[in-house]
Structure 1
Amino acid sequence: MGDRKQQKELKKQKKLEKFIKKQSKAQQTECKKNIKLQISQQDAITRTPEGELKNVNQAMGAYDPMQVEEGWYSWWDKKGFFKPEILKKHRDDVREPYVMALPPPNVTGKLHIGHAMMVAIEDAIARYKRMQGFEVLFVPGCDHAGIATQTVVEKKLYKEKRLTRYDLGREKFIDMVWKWKEKYGDTIIEQIKRLGTSVDMGRYVFTLDKKVNEGVIEAFVQLYERKLIYRESKLINWCSKLSTALSDLEVDHKPVKPFTKLQVDGKKYVFGVLYAIKYPLADKGSAEINDYVEIATTRPETIIGDTALCVNPMDKRAQYLRTKVAINPITKEVIPIIFDEYAEMEFGTGVVKITPAHDFNDYDLAKKHGLAVKNVLNENNEVCVEGSFYKMKRFYARIKVLEYLRSTGLFVSETGYEQTLPICSRSGDVLEPHLKKQWWLDCKGMARKAIEAVESKELKIVPDIAIKNWNYWLSNIRDWCLSRQLWWGHQIPAYEVLKDGESAGWVVARTKDEAKHKAETTFKLQTGDYVLRQDEDVLDTWFSSGLWPFVILGWPAATDDFARYFPNSILETGSDILFFWVARMVMLSLELTGKVPFNTILLHGIVRDANGRKMSKSLGNVIDPLYVIEGVQLDELAKSITATNLDPKEIKAALEGQRKDFPMGIPRCGSDALRFTLCSYTSGMKDVNLNILRADGYRKFCNKLWNAFKFVLKAVESTKLSTDDIDEFEKSFLKSQKRADADRGPDRSAADSLEDRELFVEISSGVNERSVSKTDVSDKLFVKTFNKVEPELEHSVKTLSISENGLSSVRCVIEWLYGKREAMIEEFISSMDTFNFMSATQCIHQFALYTYCDVFIEVVKQCTQTEYVAALVLVFRDIILLLHPFMPFITEELFQRLRALRILNLLESITVERLPRRFDHEFTDSFSQITSICRSVRSIMDSNNLKSADVQFNDKNTLCFEKEMRALCRNVRSFEYVEEVQGRYIDQVGPVKFSILPEDKSVISDTASSSETEY
C-alpha cells in the first residue's frame, strides 16, 4: 500500500516537473521573442539630422533607450560642449582646468565590457567635474599595441591565405595592419560615442601619429644621452612563436601539476617532472672520474649548456666538493664547482646545475663568479650546439637527452613535481630565456623618484592599499628591455655604423642627417666611407604609451596645451596595468619633464563574469558593450565567436559557454542603464563579478524616470504651473523654513536619508536573489535594496509636531522631501569626491525610486496643491542633474523636455549645467513618522493577505495627514482616531499606536491572547 502511494506521489512529482519545465520554456520563448522584437524595432527609430537639436516637443511614448539616446552625441559634438573652453560661454563661475586622458584602447579589436567600465567611470568623473565648474579636458585616443595587433593580423593572414608576414614582406604587411587599424580604430571611436563619453574628439591621438613619433624619438635620444639607455647582451624572455623579446610583465606564470601533458611546438610533451641525474666528479687538476654527485633538474635538455655546479657554503654534506671538479655528463667538459648561498640546501642533494644562458638567476650567478655563458637554443628553440642533438626542437631534445643518459647509466630517477612555466601572454607559447643584444633602459634612479613622489604626497594613489605594491615593485625593478623584434611600432632611432662591412658602433639620433653627423664626428669618418643601417627592431609598446600624458599635449614642443593642461589631474585605470603602464608613465614623466604626469592615480578592479571567471574569448564570456546597449539574440552573439581566429575546439567551448550564460540572448538595455550598472559595481580595487543582466533592472529604472516625467508634465499642465509659481514657492518655502528652524532641535543624520526605500516593493526590476551569483557581493546588495526588511528606524521615537511648529501637512511633506534631498546630495557629493561610485549611484537611485517616485509622486497624485507640483518639478530637475554623470542620454532628453516647459531657468544643455544647490538649514521631519506608519500598515496587510481594512490611531495629529496616507495606503478604507486601539493587528511607531481592522470584523474578537505585533 505504501509503495502504491509512493509511486502515485512520484508520478505526481514528475508531472509537476514536466509542467514547470514547460512553463520555463514558454517564458524563455516569450523573453526571446521580446528581445527579437526590441531589436527589430530599432529600424523604426526616428532619426535626428546629424548635429541638430532633437525635437523634444513630440508626445512621449513608451520608453525606448534607442530612441532616447539617438541624436544627442552628434549635437553635443557639434556644439562643442566637451571642449574645455566652452564652459566660459555658458557660466561665469568656471574654475581651474581638470585634465584626464582616456587610457588608449588597443586597436586589436572592439571594446569589451571591461573597457566600458573604464569609460563609464572616467566619463562620470569628467561630467561631474564639468558640472562643478571645472574646465574639463578629457583626451581620447587609441594604442597601436605592437605585439597584440601584429599577432591578430598575422593570425588573420594565415587563416585566410596560409601566408606568414615574411611571405608578404614588411611593407605589404604593415599596409595590412594599417587597414586593420582603420577598421577597428573607427569602430572603437563609434563605441566611445555610443557610450556617451564626453571626450574632446578634436584632440584624438593615435600612438603612431606623427606628433607621438616625434615625442618617442626625442624621449629615446634624451634618455640615451643621459646614459640611461644602453645596448648590451643580456638574457631576455624570448617568444619563438612571435619571434620577439618580451618584458617580464608580459609573462604569465602557469602552475603545472605533476606529469601534465601540454601542446608545445606542435606536439604534446610531459611537464611537471623532476629528473635526478648523476654528474661525474674528478679531483681538481685531473680528468679522471673518481666519484659522482646527484643533481635534480626539470630541464635535462639544457645540460649541454651547464658551465658549473653550485653548492651552498653552509652545507656540511658538500664540503668534500671543494677539492673537486665536475664533468658535464653530455659534453664531457670539465666544469667548476662554485660555492654560493644561491644553492638551497633543502632542495634535493643541495647541489644545483648552473646554465647561465637559459636561467635568469644562473645568468646573474655567472656574472658574479665569472662563469662561461653557453647558448644551447637558437631563436627557433632548436639546439644550436653541434653534436647528436643539433637542430632538435627543445622538448624533443629533452627526450633524446634522457635516452642518452639512461644508456650511459647517469640517469637516476624521475618524480612528479609541481612547477611553474613562463607563458607568453599573447601567443601562449612556453618562453625561453635567451641571450641577445638589445636596447635597455636603466630604471633604478627613476623608480626611486616615483617612490618619493608618492611618499611626499605629490602623487596620490587611490585606494592607498596599492601603495605597498607600488613601493615593492619599484624597489625591486629590473632594467627594461625596450627592443621588440616586430614590424608594427616605432622603429628604434638607433643606427649601426658599418665600415667595410664591419660594425664600428652605434649612434642614436632624431633624424638620419643627425645620425650621419654623429657617425662622422664619433668615429672620425668621411661621407662615403661608411654605411648607416637603422635598427630594424621597434620599441616596446609601453614605451610610447609611457609618454601618453604629455605627448598628447604636444611635448616635446612648448605648446599652449602643454603649458595649461600638464600635469593631468587624474589617471583612472585598471589595477592590472599599474606596473605595465602607470609606473612607467610616472618614471618617464619625472625624468623627462621634471613633474609627475598626474596628481592622482585612481584604480579599479578587473571585470569578471557573474561566475567570477576572467573574461576570455575562449570562454565565450567577452561582451561587446553594444550587445547590451542594443540587445542581441543568441545566434548573433555566437557570430562574435565563430568569426574569430580561435581554435575550433576553443570555438566549440566558447559557444557552449554563451548558451549557458545567455540562453535567450541579451535584452536591449541602452547605454544609460549599462553605464549606471558598471559604476554601481565600482568600489576600490575589488574585482567585479559582473552580472550583465543586472543592466535590465536599471533599464526599468530609466523607464520609471521616463514615466515619472510624464506625470510631472501632466501635473504642470493640470495646475498651469508658471515661472512665478516656482519663484513664489522657493521664496516662501525658504522663508517659512527659517522660521521653523528656530523651534526645532537637531534633525536626523544623513545616514537615515533613505529609510523610506521599502515603502513600496512593487519595483519591476526583473532581479531576484536567485538570479544573482552567490559570489557577487555587489549583486547581493542590489537585491537587498529591493527585498530587504526594513529595520526599526532611529526616528521612530519622534513625535508629530504639526500643531507645535504651525506647519500644514503640505508643508511637512515638502520639508520631508527636501530633507531627504539634502541628505542625499550630501552623500552623493561626498561619494563622488572620494570616487565611491557604488555609494553615489545607490544614494541617488534610492532617493529617485523610493522617496520621489514611490512616496512623493503618490502623494501628489491625490494632493494637487501648487506647492506640491512646484516641489515635484524642482526635485525632478535635481534628480536628473545628479544622475547625469552616470546617465547622460536620458537626463539630457528629460532636461530638454523640462527646459521646453519654460518654467525654469536652465542652461542650453545639461552637460554644462550646475549641480543642484544645497540649503544652509535643516528641514522638519514630521512626515517620516507617517511613512513609517504607512509602511507598517502595508506590511501587515500584505503578510496577512488583507485586501481591505480600516486603520485606527490613538493620536489625533496623525489624521492631519489623512490625504497623504490615503495616497500611500490605497487599500485602506478609512483612518480614524480612537482613545484606545484594539484588534489582532496592532503596531506602534514612536508614541503612535494603531490597529488594522480587516473587512471581516470577526477577526477582532480574537484579542485575548494577542499582544502588540512586531514587524
Structure 2
Amino acid sequence: MLDKYNPAEIETKHYANWQAKGYFQPHMDASQESFSIQLPPPNVTGTLHMGHAFNQTVMDGLTRYYRMKGRNTCWIPGTDHAGIATQIVVERQLAEQGVSRHDLGRGKFLEKVWEWKEQSGGTITQQMRRVGCSADWTREYFTMDDTRAGIVTEVFVRLYEQGLIYRGQRLGNWDPVLGTAISDLEVENVEEQGSMWHICYPLADNLSDGLTVATTRPETLLGDVAVAVHPDDGRYAHLIGKELVLPLTGRTIPVIADEYVDKDFGTGCVKITPAHDFNDYEVGKRHNTPLINVLSLKAEILAEAEVFDYKGEVQTGIKLPEKYAGLDRFAARKQIVADLEAEGHLKEVKPHTLMTPKGDRTGSVIEPMLTRQWFVAMSAKPEGGEPESEFKGLSLSEKAKKAVDSGAVKFFPENWVNTYNQWMNNIQDWCISRQLWWGHQIPAWYDSDGNVYVARSEAEAEKLAGKSGLTREEDVLDTWFSSALVPFSTLGWPSETEELKAFLPSNVLVTGYEIIFFWVARMIMMTTHFTGKVPFKDVYIHGMVRDHEGKKMSKSEGNVIDPVDLIDGIDLEQLLVKRTTGLRRPEKAPQVIEATKKLFPEGIPVFGADALRFTMASYASLGRSINFDFKRAEGYRNFCNKLWNATNFVLMNVEDKDCGQDETQPLAYTFVDQWIVGRLQQVEAAAAEAYDTYRFDLAAQTLYEFVWNDFCDWYIELAKVQLQTGCPTTRRTTRRTLVRVLEVILRLLHPIMPFITEELWQTVAPLANAKTADSIMIAKWPEPDAEKIVPAAFEQTAALQDLIGAVRNLRGEMSIAPNVKAPLFVEGGEGVDKLLKYLPSMTRLTEANIVDKLPENEDAPVAVCNGARLMLKVEIDKAAETARLTKEAEKLQKALDKLNGKLSKPGYTEKAPAHLVEKDKAELAELEDKMAKVQGQLAKLKD
C-alpha cells in the first residue's frame, strides 16, 4: 500500500533523480529521428508567471511524449539578458546606496550587473524545475555568455559586410527617463483623459484670417513645418500653397494638401510636425519638408531647434523663443498654452480621451524622437556570403515570407498566418541599437573624422582603418537581436556540429501571439539567412492566461497568481503581502485585499505540480486566451487523489497474488475485461493524435474521462465483482487486466503529470511485468492494437451499464435509501442472465433473479431496459410514503402557482424576451409532469 499522496515529497525526489541520471539529455543516436524544441528565453530578471507555467506545460509535455517515443529528444533552455529590465534593476539597487551608474563608469557598472546576475539571475530556471520541465540543463545558455557574444558579433559583421546593416537617422520611440530608443513591444498605450487645444494659425497675407488646428501636444507647435488639408476639401482649396504665421515663433509655414487628412474630423486642418509624430513624418517625407526637432533627449525644449532633411543631413538651426529653453516638455506645454491664450491664438480647449504611449518599464510618456541609430535593412538584397539554399539571394523580409508561404513553417492555429503576413507586408527597417550599457556592445569603431569601421575586434578595426586610436561605439544591440539567433547560436554555429545537423530545424516553437513579429519573424529571417534552413517547422501560438474575471494578470493590478504558490500552497497573510507589493496605484490596495480574501479566504492550498500542469493542459485549446479558474485546479487535484486511491485499490488486490504474468497459465477474459482493454486502445490512439496536433486540451479531456469514468467508476467496481465471485482463472485475468491497464494509463498521463505517474509506475510496472526501463520517462510510449477492440464486449458492457442505470433509477423513483437492499425481478431480455451477477454489488440488491413473469404488484413501478422488465420488491410503508408524496405535491403546487402567475400576468408573454418566456413554459411543463407522477403514485396508495 502507498502512503498518503504528498506532492512535495515525490516531486523533489524524482526531479533530482531524473537530472542526476541524465534523462533530460538527448541520446544522439543518429539512426533515430530527432525531436527538438527551443525554450523562449525568459528574462533573467523574471520570475515564473502563469503564462510561463502554461507554455512550459505544453513544451515539457511534447518533450516527454517524444522522448518516450524513442526520439533523439532535446529541449534547449536559456535566459535572455533583458537589456533594459536588467539595467533598471541594478540601477535601482545602486540608487538605494546613493550611487548612479555614471558615478561608477561603464566598466564598474557592468561588473555590478554580472554580480547581480550570478546571485539572482537563476530564479526563473529554478522555478521551471519545480514545474517539472525536463530541459537539458547541460545546454543552458545565457544570451550574454561568451559563446553567444562571439556569435552576435559574427552575425553583425557579416550583415554589415553584406550591406544589410547601416547607420542612419529616423523617427523612433524614445524613453526620456531611460535615455534610449525602445521597440514597439516595450510601449504600452494607456487610455487617459487629456485636452484638445484649438489654435488659430493666421494667414501671412491677412492676419485677421487663418486656419484653426486641434492638437493634444501644443508644445510641439514649435517644430511645425506645415498645416495640411485634404486636397478635395472645398473649404480650403483656395488656401493651398499660401503661407501661415506659426504662433509664438514668427516663422511662416505653408498650407499643403495631403490625403492623410480626414476632412470630416475636427476642423479638417492638421498641423504637421514630422520630427515629433510618426504620421506627420510620412506626410513630411512626401512633401520634402524639413524636420525640426525642438526637444532634447531629456524631453526639454532646446534653445536652438535642430533641422534635418530626410537623409539625416544637418541644416541650419532655428533659434527658439528663449523663455521656453530648458523647460521640461510638460512645463513648456503650460507656458505655451498660456502664451497662446494671451496672444489670442487659443480658440477653445475641449476635454479629450486619448491613448498615451508609455514605457512599460518606467511609465514615462514616450516621445517620437529623431535619433541616429543602427538598422537592419529588411528589403535590401544581400551582397553575397549566404549558404546555398532556396532562400539565397532574397531580402530578409522575402526570406521570412517565403518560409511561411511555402509551408516550410506552419502556424497552429493557421489563422495567425494572416497576422504574420500583415506585419511582413508593412515591415520597416529594424532599429537594433539601444542607448544602454548592459547588452552586446555594437562592434563598430570610429576615427577622429567620424568614419566607421565594423569589425570582430578592435585590432581588426584598426587594420581596416590603417591607424590606431579608434573609439568604440557606445550603443548596445536590441535584446531581440541576440534572441533572433537562438535557433542556431545554441547549436554550435558557425561550425557544422552534430547538434546543428540533428536539431535544426526544431520541430515546434511554442510562444504567445504578441511576439510573432518581434521574435518569430526575426528568427525565421536570421536562421534562413545564415543556415539556409528554417528555424522550426511549426509555430504553436497559445493564448494569454488571464485571471478568473478575464483581466490581464499584472503586479500593478494585484491579481497575479504565482504558479509556485499553487504548487506549494501559501497562507492568506503571505498572499496578501505578495499581491499588494508593487502596486502601481497603492490606493487600490484595499480593493485588492478584499478581492483576494473573497477568492482565497484561507490562502491557496497545496495543489502540487501535476494538478497545476493538468489544469494548464486542459486549457490548451489552440489560440484561445484563458480565464484561470481556481475551481478547475481543485478538480484536477482531486483527480490526482483519485488516481492515487485507484492505484492503492489495485495494489491491495494484486500484491503477492498471481497477476497472470506467467503466460503458460490459462486466462479467461470476461466481456468487461475485453471492454476496458478495447477502450484503452481507443484512448491510446486518441491521446497520441492529440499530442501530435498540439491539442493538449483534448489529451487531458480524453485521459480524464477514461481514468475517472471508465477505469475508476466502472471497471474497478465491476472488477470487484469478478475478484469476489469469479473462478481462479477469472480472478487471475482480472488482476492482470487491472495492473496492465493501470500501467498504460500512467504512461499515457506522464507527459502532463510527470511526478505522480513516476511514483506510481515504479510500483505498478513490476506487477504488470512492464518495467523495461529505470524510469517512466524513458519507458516506451503505448501503441494501440486495433485487434484488441472487441465490438461484442462493448455492446455487452453498454447493456450492463444501461441495466445498472435502470435499477438505480428505480431505487430513486421508489426513494429507497442507500443502506436498504432489495431483491430485483427481471422478466425477459436477451442475454440479461449473463449480466445479473454484477447487479447486487453495483446497485445494492439482495439478489437479482430471472422470472417468467413479474409479480402482480400495482404499487411497484416497473422499468424497461433492453427488452427486459425490471421490478424491485420492497414493502412500502403506505402511511409514510403517502406523507412524503403529499409534502412533495404541496411543494410542486407552490412552484406551479408562482410560475402560472408569472405567465398569466398581463403583457408578460408579449413584452418579455422570447427566450425567457420559452424557458418559463418549459419549466411549467416539467413541473406539471412531475405533479402528474406524484398524484398517480398517491392514487395507487389510496386504492
TM-score, scaled to structure 1: 0.79
Q: In the aligned structure 1, how far is the partner of 2:28 from the partner of 2:377? A: 43
Contact 1:421 1:430 survives alignment (8 Å): yes
Q: Relative to 1, partners in 2 of residues 1:706 and 1:330: Cα closer, same or farther, differing over 3 Å?
A: same
Residue of structure 1 equivalent to 2:223: 305
The one-letter amino acid of 2:46's match is G
Q: In the aligned structure 2, how far is the partner of 1:190 from the partner of 1:519? A: 47
The one-letter amino acid of 1:858's match is E
1:137 aligns with 2:83: no
Q: In the aligned structure 2, how far is the partner of 1:423 from the partner of 1:198? A: 38
The one-letter amino acid of 1:252's match is E
Residue of structure 2 equivalent to 1:314: 232
The one-letter amino acid of 2:797's match is F
Q: In the aligned structure 1, how far is the partner of 2:868 from the partner of 2:231? A: 84
Deviations 1:395-433 (A, max 9, x none): 221111111111111111112233222122222221100
The one-letter amino acid of 2:780's match is R
1:114 aligns with 2:32: no
1:230 aligns with 2:230: no
CA RMSD of superposed structures (Å): 2.5
Residue of structure 1 equivalent to 2:534: 596
Q: In the aligned structure 2, how far is the partner of 1:671 from the partner of 1:852? A: 23
Contact 2:560 2:579 survives alignment (8 Å): no
- The equivalent position to 1:950 in structure 2, one of 807, 823, 844, is 823
Residue of structure 2 equivalent to 1:508: 454
Q: In the aligned structure 2, how far is the partner of 1:107 from the partner of 1:341? A: 47
Q: In the aligned structure 2, how far is the partner of 1:672 from the partner of 1:205? A: 27
- The equivalent position to 2:677 in structure 1, one of 818, 841, 854, is 818
Q: Relative to 1, partners in 2 of residues 1:141 and 1:484: Cα closer, same or farther, differing over 3 Å?
A: same
The one-letter amino acid of 1:547's match is L
- The equivalent position to 2:214 in structure 1, one of 296, 310, 316, is 296
Contact 2:357 2:366 survives alignment (8 Å): yes
The alignment partner of 2:290 has SS state of: coil
The alignment partner of 2:450 has SS state of: strand
Q: In the aligned structure 1, how far is the partner of 2:665 from the partner of 2:625? A: 50
Shift of the alpha carbon at 1:71?
1.3
The alignment partner of 1:85 has SS state of: coil
Contact 1:491 1:536 survives alignment (8 Å): yes
1:199-278 to 2 correspondence within 5 Å? 199-256=135-192, 260=193, 271=194, 273-278=195-200
Q: Which moved more, 1:303-312 or 1:649-658?
A: 649-658
- The equivalent position to 1:165 in structure 2, one of 66, 84, 101, is 101
- The equivalent position to 2:754 in structure 1, one of 861, 878, 888, is 888
Residue of structure 1 equivalent to 2:739: 873
Deviations 1:610-669 (A, max 9, x none): 111111112222222221111111122234356658664466655454334322111111
Residue of structure 2 equivalent to 1:123: 60
Contact 1:618 1:650 survives alignment (8 Å): no
Q: Relative to 1, partners in 2 of residues 1:87 and 1:679: Cα closer, same or farther, differing over 3 Å?
A: farther
- The equivalent position to 2:808 in structure 1, one of 938, 942, 950, is 938
Contact 1:816 1:927 survives alignment (8 Å): yes
1:458 aligns with 2:408: yes
Residue of structure 2 equivalent to 1:430: 365
Q: In the aligned structure 2, how far is the partner of 1:999 from the partner of 1:117? A: 57
Shift of the alpha carbon at 1:87?
7.7
The one-letter amino acid of 1:417's match is H
Contact 2:658 2:735 survives alignment (8 Å): no
Contact 1:863 1:963 survives alignment (8 Å): no
The one-letter amino acid of 1:71's match is K
Shift of the alpha carbon at 1:308?
1.1
1:917 aligns with 2:854: no
1:364-375 to 2 correspondence within 5 Å? 364-375=282-293
Residue of structure 2 equivalent to 1:771: none
Residue of structure 2 equivalent to 1:748: none
Shift of the alpha carbon at 1:1010?
7.2
Q: In the aligned structure 1, how far is the partner of 2:549 from the partner of 2:127? A: 26
- The equivalent position to 1:496 in structure 2, one of 446, 450, 464, is 446
1:960 aligns with 2:902: no
Residue of structure 2 equivalent to 1:518: 464
1:706 aligns with 2:648: no
The alignment partner of 1:723 has SS state of: coil
Residue of structure 1 equivalent to 2:34: 97
Q: In the aligned structure 2, how far is the partner of 1:139 from the partner of 1:650? A: 41
Contact 1:983 1:997 survives alignment (8 Å): no
Percent identical across equivalent pairs?
39
Q: In the aligned structure 2, how far is the partner of 1:482 from the partner of 1:198? A: 33
The one-letter amino acid of 1:118's match is N
Contact 2:189 2:357 survives alignment (8 Å): yes
Q: In the aligned structure 2, how far is the partner of 1:303 from the partner of 1:507? A: 39
- The equivalent position to 2:550 in structure 1, one of 612, 628, 631, is 612
Q: In the aligned structure 2, how far is the partner of 1:717 from the partner of 1:999? A: 43
Residue of structure 1 equivalent to 2:123: 187
Q: Relative to 1, partners in 2 of residues 1:879 and 1:252: Cα closer, same or farther, differing over 3 Å?
A: same
Unmatched 5+ stretches in structure 1 = 1-58, 89-93, 261-270, 521-526, 734-809
Residue of structure 2 equivalent to 1:480: 430
Shift of the alpha carbon at 1:173?
3.0
Deviations 1:36-58 (A, max 9, x none): xxxxxxxxxxxxxxxxxxxxxxx
Q: Relative to 1, partners in 2 of residues 1:152 and 1:956: Cα closer, same or farther, differing over 3 Å?
A: same
The one-letter amino acid of 1:852's match is F
Contact 1:247 1:480 survives alignment (8 Å): no
1:787-798 to 2 correspondence within 5 Å? none
Residue of structure 2 equivalent to 1:625: 563
TM-score, scaled to structure 2: 0.85
Shift of the alpha carbon at 1:899?
3.6
Q: In the aligned structure 2, how far is the partner of 1:207 from the partner of 1:437? A: 25
Contact 1:282 1:290 survives alignment (8 Å): no
1:65 aligns with 2:2: no
The alignment partner of 1:852 has SS state of: helix
Q: Relative to 1, partners in 2 of residues 1:952 and 1:450: Cα closer, same or farther, differing over 3 Å?
A: farther
Q: In the aligned structure 2, how far is the partner of 1:610 from the partner of 1:354? A: 45
Q: Relative to 1, partners in 2 of residues 1:339 and 1:60: Cα closer, same or farther, differing over 3 Å?
A: same
Q: Which moved more, 1:639-648 or 1:603-612?
A: 639-648
Shift of the alpha carbon at 1:545?
0.7
Contact 1:155 1:645 survives alignment (8 Å): no
Deviations 1:904-924 (A, max 9, x none): 353221111112232232312
1:440 aligns with 2:372: no
Deviations 1:234-265 (A, max 9, x none): 11101112211111232222233xxx2xxxxx
Shift of the alpha carbon at 1:157?
3.6
Contact 2:559 2:579 survives alignment (8 Å): no
Contact 1:576 1:606 survives alignment (8 Å): no
Shift of the alpha carbon at 1:591?
1.9
Q: Relative to 1, partners in 2 of residues 1:443 and 1:546: Cα closer, same or farther, differing over 3 Å?
A: same
Q: Relative to 1, partners in 2 of residues 1:621 and 1:928: Cα closer, same or farther, differing over 3 Å?
A: same
Q: In the aligned structure 1, how far is the partner of 2:343 from the partner of 2:441? A: 50
The alignment partner of 2:439 has SS state of: coil
Residue of structure 1 equivalent to 2:716: 857
Deviations 1:497-545 (A, max 9, x none): 22xxxx332111111111111222xxxxxx35xx311111111111111
Shift of the alpha carbon at 1:478?
1.5
1:397-796 to 2 correspondence within 5 Å? 397-444=332-379, 445-498=395-448, 503-520=449-466, 527-528=467-468, 531-641=469-579, 644=582, 648-649=586-587, 654-717=592-655, 719-721=657-659, 723-724=661-662
The alignment partner of 1:171 has SS state of: helix
The one-letter amino acid of 1:886's match is I
The alignment partner of 2:638 has SS state of: helix
Q: In the aligned structure 1, how far is the partner of 2:514 from the partner of 2:809? A: 47
Unmatched 5+ stretches in structure 2 = 304-319, 380-394, 724-730, 886-932, 939-943
Q: In the aligned structure 2, how far is the partner of 1:939 from the partner of 1:637? A: 47
Contact 2:558 2:580 survives alignment (8 Å): no
The one-letter amino acid of 2:764's match is L
Shift of the alpha carbon at 1:835?
0.9
- The equivalent position to 2:326 in structure 1, one of 391, 394, 408, is 391
The alignment partner of 1:447 has SS state of: helix
1:348 aligns with 2:222: no
The one-letter amino acid of 2:848's match is F
Contact 1:110 1:184 survives alignment (8 Å): no
Q: In the aligned structure 1, how far is the partner of 2:157 from the partner of 2:463? A: 15
The one-letter amino acid of 1:192's match is M
Q: Relative to 1, partners in 2 of residues 1:889 and 1:169: Cα closer, same or farther, differing over 3 Å?
A: same
